[in-house]
Structure 1
Amino acid sequence: MILAGDIGGTKTNLALYDWTTERVDPVRMESFHSADYKSLEDILVEFLTPPKPPTPLDAIDEGDEGEKPDEPPPEPVKLTAACFGIAGPVIENRSRTTNLPWVIDGSSIAKQFDIPLVQLLNDLEATAYGILWLRPDEVEVLNLGNPPKKRQALALIAAGTGLGEGILFWDGKSYRPMPSEGGHADFAPNNDYEIELLRYLRGQYLHVSYERVLSGPGLHAIYEFIRDTKKNEPTWLAEKIKAGIPAAEIAEAGLKGQADIAKQALDLFASIYGAEAGNLALKALSLDGVYVAGGIAPKLIQKMKDGTFMKAFTNKGRYKRLLSTIPVKVVMNQETGLLGAASVAAALAAYTPAP
């Protein structure tokens, strides 16, 4: 049995798999609210402790309801390997999480839970492994493209709570993910309107990264920029945003065409998202494809498919034709990071490289 985990600032997903060489569904999976725990170890104790079996009613003596027949304790789960994708940099199999007061150490976990092999990965690195196992029905195609016959690189970009980026290079036998913190690179405006957005954000932040724009909070920031410059916010939407989750309320109003300001925010968000995905494709020369993952793109799939994203993706001057040949797909499976971590754990258990 192997253990896989996807560790985020909001939630931690854990799953057990009986995985050898082919993808399988988890034997058991649970989700935990990360902030409710002091450490990953506390969650692992709860997840890995076998539940006590129920006592049959007929085994309890009617005259002594308080006593139960002795039963041997359940056998603990025996793990051969574990892998965790973590929202934060991983250095020497150790990570200080970005949005939690946790320090996660692979060797300490291995010792405490008697797991022979424990590997920590950056969360986007785990997602990168996961896309190699996706089925065709788990992606939405934005651009079919025309990749070369000889294998080239893949790229991954994922907007959610933050913005993650990654590259998968072909080593002659398989794709190898490379961890990256490219989402924190400088935001580069592409037109006068985006220059105004940058000026607006620079009034709030010393450093304006792509993550400040391409994330849940980033969509809200774009909305506030439009609100403060165009003064076109309806009162009903302002109240919904104040009471709910801002990015979700903006997305809903924009997708339903209920407010011009929300539609404009989605237009700008999708355009910048496409532009940065195209930037990543050029930097990696990812001719085999670009995958758009994270929590936002699936929720905005209607917007992602209307042409705004791809227009910005290919708007690279003399390289427009090249960018048009690159396949672009949206990852619809929200457990892709967990899937990737499971594939690495399975490979560790088998003492063979991950695919």
Structure 2
Amino acid sequence: MILAGDIGGTNTRLALFEKIEQGFLTIAEEKFSSSAYQSLSKIVQKFLGNKSHLVNCACFGVAGPVQGKTAKITNLTWIADTFSIAELLGHDRIGLINDLEANAYGLNELNDNDFLILNKGESNPTGNRAIISAGTGIGEAGIFNKDGELRPFATESGHADFAPRNELEIELLRYLLTKFERVSLERVVSGLGLQNIYDFLRDTKRAEEPTWLGEEIKKSSNVGAVISKNGLEGKSAICEQTLDIFVSLYGAEAGNMALRLLATGGVYIGGGIAPKILPKLKEKPFLDSFFSKGRMRELLELIPVRVILNDKAALLGAAHFAYYELQDY
């Protein structure tokens, strides 16, 4: 059996897979609160119980930079490592890769029904690809095309500087600099980013917060979800405005990734937020921001843009990596 993990700042998802002709068959799957445990090994131990001896190889996609056999998880206090997992499994056929790298490997295991097309474009079969995923934080990865072989690689460019494009975004940056020493892209394009944009609109009196909404936000452990829901349903002007700014920033950064990697093979939008705000992503602002790159606009208009709908992409990618890269170790 193959053990696969998708380790995020909020949740850790683990699954056991068997390789079959059609791909990977899920044997067991469970979600855990990451912060409720002291280490990855504790979660794995809880999940496997007395089945650890059945695991032939394992791979974990983690939200943070991987250095050798360890990784510091962004937005968590603990460090993931393969050494403690090796003690549980009794072997070292264990991979630790970036979570967006795992998502990229997962593309190999998805079919057409797992995507929603935002821009059909004209895919270049020899071109590179890019993936960008906003959730608790934001992650980005590239997929290098080497003579037709697609090889994912990790980045931490979600922690690059936030670069405003207009007067409103400049004011947003100024506002956030009163709260943070440095403002990265993740401060605006993520679940936490939704809250930061909302706070900016409220605190600078650009929009009014209704009393009922303020109460709902106070009671919620996921403010970004509250904002998205009320914005999509048209219940609150401040939530709609927040979502519009967020979607525009998301599209702009997706276009930036396309340029950085010359991703003529396509750009994939992953993460937990995109499938929940599809109506907004289908509207004009997302693709307008994606295309608006001056002299490069014609190039961007040719690049396919797809939303990943399958929330198991990272798990399947970790399983893919374990099966194809670790079996001979």
Residues 170/310 of structure 1: CA separation in 2 closer, same or farther (3 Å cut) = same
% identity of equivalent residues: 47
Checking the alignment, whether the CA contact within 8 Å between 1:117 and 1:348 is kept in structure 2 is: no
Which residue of structure 1 aligns with residue 255 of structure 2? 278
Letter in 1 for 2:310: N
The partner residue of 1:233 within 196, 209, 212 is 209
Which residue of structure 2 aligns with residue 3 of structure 1? 3
- Is the counterpart of residue 191 in structure 1 residue 166 in structure 2? yes
| TM-score (normalizing by structure 2) | 0.95
- Is the counterpart of residue 110 in structure 1 residue 97 in structure 2? no
- Is the counterpart of residue 125 in structure 1 residue 101 in structure 2? yes
- Give the ranges of 4+ consecutive aligned residues of structure 1 lying more than 4 Å apart after TM superposition: none
- Is the counterpart of residue 337 in structure 1 residue 314 in structure 2? yes
Which residue of structure 2 aligns with residue 172 of structure 1? 147
Which residue of structure 2 aligns with residue 64 of structure 1? none
Checking the alignment, whether the CA contact within 8 Å between 1:154 and 1:288 is kept in structure 2 is: yes
Gapped regions of structure 1 (runs ≥ 5): 51-74
CA distance in 2, matches of 1:78, 1:242: 45
Correspondence 1:70-109 to 2 at 5 A: 77-109=53-85
Letter in 2 for 1:6: D
Checking the alignment, whether the CA contact within 8 Å between 2:53 and 2:89 is kept in structure 1 is: no
Which residue of structure 2 aligns with residue 15 of structure 1? 15
Checking the alignment, whether the CA contact within 8 Å between 1:20 and 1:346 is kept in structure 2 is: no
CA distance in 1, matches of 2:210, 2:304: 39
Residues 293/351 of structure 1: CA separation in 2 closer, same or farther (3 Å cut) = same
CA distance in 2, matches of 1:188, 1:42: 39
Deviation at 1:255, TM superposition (A): 0.6
CA distance in 1, matches of 2:174, 2:21: 51
User: Secondary structure of 1:146's match?
Assistant: coil
Larger Rg: 1
Which residue of structure 2 aligns with residue 182 of structure 1? 157
- Say which is worse superposed, 34-43 or 1-10, in terms of deviation: 34-43
Checking the alignment, whether the CA contact within 8 Å between 2:41 and 2:84 is kept in structure 1 is: no
Checking the alignment, whether the CA contact within 8 Å between 1:81 and 1:348 is kept in structure 2 is: no
CA distance in 1, matches of 2:52, 2:94: 18
| TM-score (normalizing by structure 1) | 0.88
Checking the alignment, whether the CA contact within 8 Å between 2:93 and 2:327 is kept in structure 1 is: no
- Say which is worse superposed, 211-220 or 173-182, in terms of deviation: 173-182
Letter in 2 for 1:123: D
Which residue of structure 2 aligns with residue 137 of structure 1? 113
Residues 231/326 of structure 1: CA separation in 2 closer, same or farther (3 Å cut) = closer
- Is the counterpart of residue 26 in structure 1 residue 2 in structure 2? no
Q: After superposition, what is the alpha-carbon deviation per residue over 1:25-44, rounded to whole angstroms, capped at 9, x for unaligned?
A: 21111122222222221222
CA distance in 2, matches of 1:96, 1:196: 32
CA distance in 2, matches of 1:40, 1:180: 22
Residues 104/232 of structure 1: CA separation in 2 closer, same or farther (3 Å cut) = closer
Checking the alignment, whether the CA contact within 8 Å between 1:186 and 1:209 is kept in structure 2 is: yes
Q: Which has the higher strand share?
A: 2
- Say which is worse superposed, 174-183 or 94-103, in terms of deviation: 94-103
How many pairs were matched up? Answer: 327
Deviation at 1:20, TM superposition (A): 5.6
- Is the counterpart of residue 243 in structure 1 residue 216 in structure 2? no
The partner residue of 1:328 within 305, 318, 322 is 305
CA distance in 1, matches of 2:56, 2:325: 8
- Say which is worse superposed, 77-86 or 213-222, in terms of deviation: 77-86
Letter in 2 for 1:171: K
Deviation at 1:22, TM superposition (A): 4.5
Deviation at 1:116, TM superposition (A): 4.2
Deviation at 1:21, TM superposition (A): 6.1
RMSD: 1.7
CA distance in 2, matches of 1:349, 1:91: 18
Checking the alignment, whether the CA contact within 8 Å between 2:52 and 2:88 is kept in structure 1 is: no
CA distance in 1, matches of 2:216, 2:88: 46
